[in-house]
Amino acid sequence: MKAILLGCALCLTTAQAADREFNDVVRVISDEFHTRPIHIPFFGLVNAFTAAVRPAGAKHIDVAVFESLGPSSRDLPQAIRSAVGSRWSPLVHVQSYRKGHEETVFVYMRQQGQDWKLLVAAIERDQATVVQLMLNPSTLARWLSAPDESARRWNRDWDD
Amino acid sequence: MKFTVIAFVALLPLAAQEIKFPPGLDRLAEKAVEVVDVTMDASLLQLAGRFLSDKDPDEGKVKRLVTGLKGVYVKSYEFEKRGEYQQSDVDQIRSQLRAPGWSRVVGVRSRKDGDNAEVFLKSEAGQITGLAIIVADPMELTIVNIVGSIRPDEIRDLGGHFGIPKIDVEIRKGAKEKEDE
């Protein structure tokens, strides 16, 4: 049974490739810092788990993680905005230049059938993550209720 | 961010019009140490409202409020020191709020702290059709535009939701400007 479930989940993972905009944002960050996302071993299993268990309402997840980054230019937020384009609706943008707590978080949304996709780009002093999630509506509603706090919490939780 | 103003307005349904954030505000982002920009249109607000719980008193209140909203737009800038933004930056917003239909119902100004909070309502044909809040502290500027049906005395309930700062607002019709020493 587990094998069937895993197989189905992996098929689902394959069928739901990351959107073009996810790849474009990853490329913008790669170009900015002249680096590539780190390899996450067994990430396919993460999606298998996500599809089966749906932690925090997520059905599917795509992640790119960058580490050991240098300082970014102030043009980066605009480059990310351009990469995301108009298919996604901007929900929240948090930008902090506080010394020691520099962060940029963009959250975009897009509806797909009954579900909603969330595209999050979070850049800190030395690392960046780009995540595309497919969320069920009730989880999304919690995001919407406090979008700025959710974006900050997301970044903190991801660090932990 | 927290401010208190006193006012009471007749409970009127709202159908509002969005104010335009001038491009000059984007330049403030370059000077600010922290920027928060929240954009929530009608479809997102209705979606959020649909899944908020009636059982939780706070969520229940927000859920009822959201049904009449068409948009919530928040821009907030925090600066490291005083004088990083000019009144002229805010005047581009204020000039829109001087257009026919808009009226300033609340103004709180502290000479001591330099805090300045204003609430504007837009009304058409006897009905309030828009709401804007400007909080201009020496080191922080927050502009909130709420579009849609909301009773002004309910603004406080929206504080802390949808990126709207926590505010303590009661609005009295025809309230005069209040000045703290």
**For residue A66, what pLDDT is reported?**
93
Q: Is B77 buried (19+), middle (13-18) or exposed (0-12) by CB count in 10 A?
A: buried
Q: CB–CB of A96 and B33 under 8 A?
A: yes
Q: Is the pLDDT of residue B20 over 90?
A: no
For B118-146, the DSSP string reads EEEEEEETTEEEEEEEEEEETTEEEEEEE
For B35-56, the DSSP string reads EEEEEEEHHHHHHHHHHS-SSS
Q: Report d(CA B173, CA A149) in Å as an integer.
A: 33
CB contacts, 8 Å: B29 with chain A: 95
- Across chain A, mean pLDDT equals 77
Q: Report d(CA B4, CA B160) in Å as an integer.
A: 15
Smallest Cβ–Cβ distance between A90 and the set B39, B43, B48 belongs to: B39
Nearest Cα residue in chain A from B46: A141
Helices B24-31/B87-96 angle, 10° precision = 150
The two tokens of residue A94 are 């948090």
Q: CB–CB of B36 and A146 under 8 A?
A: no
Q: CB–CB of A141 and B50 under 8 A?
A: yes
Which residue's entry shows tokens 């919690």?
A142
Smallest Cβ–Cβ distance between B161 and the set A96, A97, A145 belongs to: A145
Q: Is the pLDDT of residue B173 over 60?
A: no
CB contacts, 8 Å: B44 with chain A: 89, 91, 109, 144
B114: number of Cβ within 10 Å: 12
Q: Report d(CA A124, CA A159) in Å as an integer.
A: 10
Residue A109 contacts by C-beta under 8 Å, 6 or more apart in sequence?
A: A88, A89, A91, A116, A117, A118, A119, A140, B44
User: What would the pLDDT profile of B123-145 be if each residue is shown by its tens digit?
Assistant: 877 767 778 999 998 999 999 99
Query: Does an H or E element contain B63, and which?
Result: helix B57-66
The two tokens of residue A73 are 């230019």
User: What would the pLDDT profile of B43-69 be if each residue is shown by its tens digit?
Assistant: 888 877 877 778 888 878 888 888 778
Q: Is the ipTM of this complex over 0.90?
A: no
Portion 72-131 of A in contact with B at CB < 8 A: 74, 89-98, 109, 111, 116
Within an 8 Å CB–CB cutoff, is residue B160 touching chain A? yes
